[in-house]
Chain A
Amino acid sequence: MITISSLSMRFGRCFAVRDVSAQIDAGDSLALWGVNGAGKTTLIRCVLGLLRFRGGVSVCGHDVLRDGKAARRLLGYVPQELGFYDEMGVGEAIGFFARLNGLRGTEPAASLRLVGLDGQHTKRVRELSGGMKQRLALALALLGDPPILILDEVTASLDAVGREEFIGMLKGLSCSGRTLLFASHRLEEVAALARRVAVMERGRVIETVDTQAFVAARATEMRGGAVLHLTVPASSREAAVRSLRELGFAARLNGLGLLVPVPPERKAVPFRVLADARIPVEDFDLVDAAEAASLAAQAKENVP
């Protein structure tokens, strides 16, 4: 369905994606995994034809640069955060994008119903919570029933409950035969949705492995410890990473938050460090080795 051949893309002299090739077949689900700046989002934007690149990307035989409209008709895209016309009503928004997809009649309402937004027609987009905005983005992506969904860290701005619900919805779509290409930095998301994982580092795909093996390897890497996902205010992210690194944590930015590997006996220390630095923690979750091992078992179900 999607063929990526020798794709390279650079901003100025710096390669954001370098010589990436991949084949994503019908019904497949490929996760792009990597730290911030690894090239996941840039690769997704190239697949959508939003950025110019060297190499080739075709969707069901349609070249995304030369025949972009036809290619994008087969793709539904959900971004990390929906930057939307805030004053637009939900019904108005879905109607507008439905017309752009050549749809009329009851399909927009059906799309809203599918993501649990029926009854929200009259609400303005700015009145929606973060989770509901992401549902709206998914409803827009599903207009016209595209066979491929492209998701760019779609749960990064959601809280734990919203994330679980959203992943459940995506799992249902994946099971219905849709092809998924998505960027993620959350192990539970990858374990729930992906059949294969492409690990990206500095713009390159360094390995593509099946999900179970990938998650199992992460569990082993933890050596009984855990990985802490922390959400802090955007303006404090860099300072938070610095404070944690000074205390010996290999903290790094990821998505909209921080990723902090923690040994078993120091799980609470990062909270104290950030409190001392007067950086509020807005949300957190923790994946420990035991959970990672159970996710690995769960990932086995992704392959039919």
Chain B
Amino acid sequence: MTALPSGLQADVAALRAPGFVSNVRTLAGRELRDAVKSRWFVLYTIAFAVLGLAVSFVSAAGTGGLGLAGYGRTTAGLVNLVLLVVPLMALTAGAASIASDRERGMLAFLLAQPVSRTEVLLGKYLGLASALLACIALGLGLCALILAWQGATANPAGIVWLAGLSVLLALAMLSVGMLVSVLARRASVAVGTAIFVWLTLVFVTDLALMAGVVALRLRITELLALSLLNPLQVFKMWSLLAVDASLDVLGPAGLYATEEFGTWLHPLLGACIVPWIVLPLAVAALVLSRRSPL
């Protein structure tokens, strides 16, 4: 055996891997900078802001006036926009993250550094979450500013609620996207799967519920329970509840939920969406820790 030079031996003792928080912060910062510089982020943000303003005008047209409606009505109009755009944005961003790094060999190189797989996953998640937060804040913030400038005063808290709930929805969909990304071997497959998940959550489950009501004569409790399994439905209910303080617009299931749960509806809806944030991310961490990054 050849001994190391004395200087180098001292270094071995001094070499310590950086801590969990430090690594997660570094990785999140890198991911945020990449996302902000990327074309998808800019395009989604512009599209979200432009569509938000368009929805504001359409909401106003419904009241018979010209110009911008108050916060409450506009917020209700924005719910549908958020339901379509935010999940698509979060799912595709999450799906592309790990899978594209794996495809170009970057994931293996990153994991050959003194970092753990959980740090890489969490860093990427937090970086993308920050980018999505910025996108939502910019889009909805622009709408709120313009409404304020137009002198709208009714229920300004509605848009704040909507922004908060949009972030929760984004976190949940990002979590699902990351799971897809960890499972898929190729970035194109991951993004394709993410779009399929989006279509399923946005359209297919709604249609399936309607078909279920007609064909299986589902009871109102069953209908509500099935609706609560879909994070997009949870978001819709919670947003409308925050804006209108009732779910009448959702029909019998909404009325039943308001009457049955009353003030407990907020915590119930929260309890339905939080697992969508935590569980897919936890499963993604587990899969990544066991699977080859190559």
Nearest-Cβ distance from residue A76 to partner chain B, whole angstroms: 9
A35 at the interface (CB under 8 A from B): no
The answer on a CB contact under 8 Å between A96 and B30 is: yes
The answer on a CB contact under 8 Å between A83 and B114 is: no
The answer on a CB contact under 8 Å between B114 and A304 is: no
Q: Which residues of A40-81 have CB atoms within 8 Å of chain B's CB atoms?
A: 45, 48-52, 60, 68-70, 72-75, 77, 79, 81
Select one of B2, B18, B105 contacting A101, CB under 8 A.
B18
Complex contacts, B292 vs chain A, CB 8 Å: 50-52
Encoded as 1 (CB less than 8 Å from any A CB) or 0, chain B from 105 to 143 comes to 110110111111000000000000000000000000000
Select one of A87, A97, A304 contacting B113, CB under 8 A.
A97
The answer on a CB contact under 8 Å between A51 and B294 is: yes
B65 at the interface (CB under 8 A from A): no
Complex contacts, B26 vs chain A, CB 8 Å: 96, 99-100
- A residues sitting closer than 8 Å to B (CB atoms) are 25-28, 45, 48-52, 60, 68-70, 72-75, 77, 79, 81-85, 87, 96-97, 99-102, 144-147, 176-179, 304
Complex contacts, B15 vs chain A, CB 8 Å: 73-74, 144, 146
Residue of B with least CB distance to A195: B2
The answer on a CB contact under 8 Å between A147 and B12 is: yes
Known: A25-B2, A147-B4. A50 touches B11 (CB 8 A): no
The answer on a CB contact under 8 Å between A85 and B34 is: yes
Complex contacts, A87 vs chain B, CB 8 Å: 37
CA distance A96 to B11 in the complex (A): 22
B87 at the interface (CB under 8 A from A): no
The answer on a CB contact under 8 Å between B106 and A85 is: yes
Nearest-Cβ distance from residue A71 to partner chain B, whole angstroms: 8
By secondary structure, the A interface counts as loop
The answer on a CB contact under 8 Å between B16 and A73 is: yes
CA distance A77 to B110 in the complex (A): 10
The answer on a CB contact under 8 Å between A27 and B4 is: yes
Select one of B5, B108, B111 contacting A177, CB under 8 A.
B5
B245 at the interface (CB under 8 A from A): no
Select one of A26, A81, A85, A147 contacting B2, CB under 8 A.
A26
Encoded as 1 (CB less than 8 Å from any A CB) or 0, chain B from 216 to 243 comes to 0000000000000000000000000000
Q: Which residues of B1-46 have CB atoms within 8 Å of chain A's CB atoms?
A: 1-5, 8-9, 11-12, 15-18, 22-23, 26-27, 30, 34, 37
Give the residue among B5, B16, B112 with the most A Cβ atoms within 10 A: B112
Residue of A with least CB distance to B110: A100
